[in-house]
């Protein structure tokens, strides 16, 4: 919430029960709130927080009216409930032309200043229930504007948002909005972190060892020294190689090893 007096609308669907609303302030300003049209069953209050619990609420939209001794102070509102209709999803990290077809999203984090597609799925929301929009909650409860979700086929995480980009590290939420099997609007959230990408491993450059300077030539070759102190062998006759070690055969002949057989 922008402050401890900003009203907020919550959504309750047919799968939710044991619902708890929390209002927390950054300082002891005795925050409290009302749920329009309902009397809460259990209250818990402290100088900096207030909670109201309901075993059940009829599906629909409810207006939350917060207040505090200092209405302009910062407050955070949250809602928890038991439900079988849970949200799963995360970020498809990496690179490649088929990244948006990945069915293994990272559920814990995305990388700082790197765009990543988001894929999500809601359990136990039968057709014609659907997911419609996605938004992100950042540091200090800053909301992004809701964006439409795309649909992809032949994937377990069948809804996708093309790209999320975080320009600050820290703690965030993904908020998904949809319509339940019975036609009620609902919201679900999952937390994640924006972290700095680990450095990519570097491969050390390959080096070719310097050749050992020649000191002599075989088979009558002549050792020649250049002006830069490098040297080479000038081979004479039917010999070749770095130090004239290889015999050359004429007229298509081939070299072969000479094996000496001892005689008795």
Q: What's the pLDDT tens digit per position in 144-171?
A: 889 999 999 999 999 999 899 999 999 9
pLDDT of residue 260: 45
Start and end residues for every CATH 2.60.120.380 domain found in the chain: 1-83
Tokens encoding 140: 């200090």
Query: Stretch 180-194: mean pLDDT, rounded?
Result: 96
Torsions phi, psi of 99, nearest 5? Answer: -60, -40
Q: Kindly state the helix (H) or strand (E) to which residue 254 belongs, with its residue range.
A: none
Task: Give the CATH architecture of domain 215-252.
Answer: Ribbon (2.10)
Q: Which of 189, 105, 102 lies closest to 141 in space, CA to CA? A: 189
Q: How far apart are the first and last CA of the chain?
A: 107
Q: What's the pLDDT tens digit per position in 10-58?
A: 999 999 999 999 999 989 999 999 998 887 677 889 999 999 999 889 9
CA dist 146 and 164 (Å) reads 12
Tokens encoding 109: 């984090």
Q: Residues for the chain: how many in total?
A: 264
> What is the CATH code of the structural domain delimited by 1-83?
2.60.120.380
- Asked if residue 240 has pLDDT above 50, the reply is yes
Helix, strand, coil % over all residues of the chain, rounded to 5: 0, 45, 55
Q: Which residues pair with 143 in a beta bridge?
A: 137
CB 66 within 8 A of CB 91: no
Q: What angle do CA 215, 219, 224 make, to 5 degrees?
A: 40
- Asked if residue 207 has pLDDT above 80, the reply is no
Q: Does domain 84-197 have CATH number 2.60.40.1220?
A: yes
- Asked if residue 212 has pLDDT above 80, the reply is no
C-alpha dihedral (83, 59, 25, 42), degrees to nearest 10: -80
CA dist 246 and 221 (Å) reads 11
Q: Which of 161, 157, 158 lies closest to 147 in space, CA to CA? A: 161
């Amino acid at each position: 919430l922008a402050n401890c007096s900003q009203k907020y609308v919550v959504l309750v669907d047919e799968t939710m029960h044991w619902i708890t609303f929390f209002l927390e302030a950054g300082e002891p300003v005795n925050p409290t709130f009302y749920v329009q049209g309902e009397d809460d069953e259990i209250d818990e209050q402290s100088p900096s927080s207030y909670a109201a619990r309901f075993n059940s609420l009829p599906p629909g939209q409810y207006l939350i009216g917060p207040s505090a001794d200092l209405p302009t102070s910062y407050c955070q509102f949250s809602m928890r409930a038991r439900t079988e209709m849970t949200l799963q999803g995360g970020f498809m990290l990496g690179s490649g032309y088929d990244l948006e077809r990945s069915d293994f999203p990272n559920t814990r984090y995305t990388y700082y200043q790197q765009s990543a597609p988001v894929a999500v799925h809601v359990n136990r929301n039968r057709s014609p229930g659907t997911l419609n929009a996605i938004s992100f909650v950042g540091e200090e409860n800053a909301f992004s504007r809701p964006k439409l979700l795309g649909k992809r086929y032949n994937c377990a995480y069948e809804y996708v948002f093309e790209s999320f980009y975080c320009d600050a590290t820290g703690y965030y939420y993904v908020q998904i909005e949809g319509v339940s099997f019975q036609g009620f609007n609902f919201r679900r959230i999952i937390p994640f972190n924006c972290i700095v990408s680990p450095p990519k491993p570097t491969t050390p450059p390959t080096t070719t060892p310097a050749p050992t300077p020649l000191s002599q030539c075989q088979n009558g070759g002549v050792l020649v020294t250049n002006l830069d102190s490098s040297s080479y062998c000038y081979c004479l006759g039917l010999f070749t190689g770095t130090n004239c070690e290889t015999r050359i055969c004429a007229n298509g002949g081939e070299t072969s090893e000479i094996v000496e057989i001892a005689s008795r």
